[in-house]
Amino acid sequence: KAGVTQTPRYLIKTRGQQVTLSCSPISGHRSVSWYQQTPGQGLQFLFEYFSETQRNKGNFPGRFSGRQFSNSRSEMNVSTLELGDSALYLCASMASGRSRTDTQYFGPGTRLTVL
């Protein structure tokens, strides 16, 4: 099976712009979660989507949003970019998240740099 794919792998934006990141989960997986990784804050949970619905949300401002499509692919959007949004954004897919044995498998990430 192909793993989790994320596009683009690298992105450079300027303050005030917006950005959209894409994630394709492992085939058959219906749950997609997003995490932000920075040197200062480490790995932080952004949100989880399942069956096109946001199921869980982390403590991030409303500038961070996401959605999931009927084929389970997910996108996250960051509007009005700030320098502090520079980070590695990781997507993780899971079969359903309804079984305690479910495991999250991560993609390679999108490295966002805000100038």
Partner 1 sequence: AQSVAQPEDQVNVAEGNPLTVKCTYSVSGNPYLFWYVQYPNRGLQFLLKYITGDNLVKGSYGFEAEFNKSQTSFHLKKPSALVSDSALYFCAVRVYGNNRLAFGKGNQVVVIP
Partner residues linked to 114 by β-bridges = 13
Decide if residue 97 touches partner 1 (CB under 8 A): yes
Q: Is 55 in the site for partner 1 (CB under 8 A)?
A: yes
Query: Rounded to whole angstroms, how far apart are CA atoms 62 and 43?
Result: 19
Three-class SS state of 39: coil
In this chain, which stretch among 11-19, 62-70, 74-82, 93-101 interacts with partner 1, using CB under 8 A? Answer: 93-101
Output 48 or 85, the one with its CB closest to partner 1.
48
Contact pick of 45, 73, 79, 86 for partner 1 (by CB under 8 A): 45
Q: What is the dihedral of CA 84, 5, 19, 74, to 10 degrees?
A: -110
Tokens read off for 52: 């096109």
Bridge partners of 85, per DSSP, are: none
**Positions that interact with partner 1 (CB under 8 A):** 4, 6, 31, 33, 35, 42-43, 45, 48, 55-56, 58, 90, 92, 94, 97, 100-109, 111
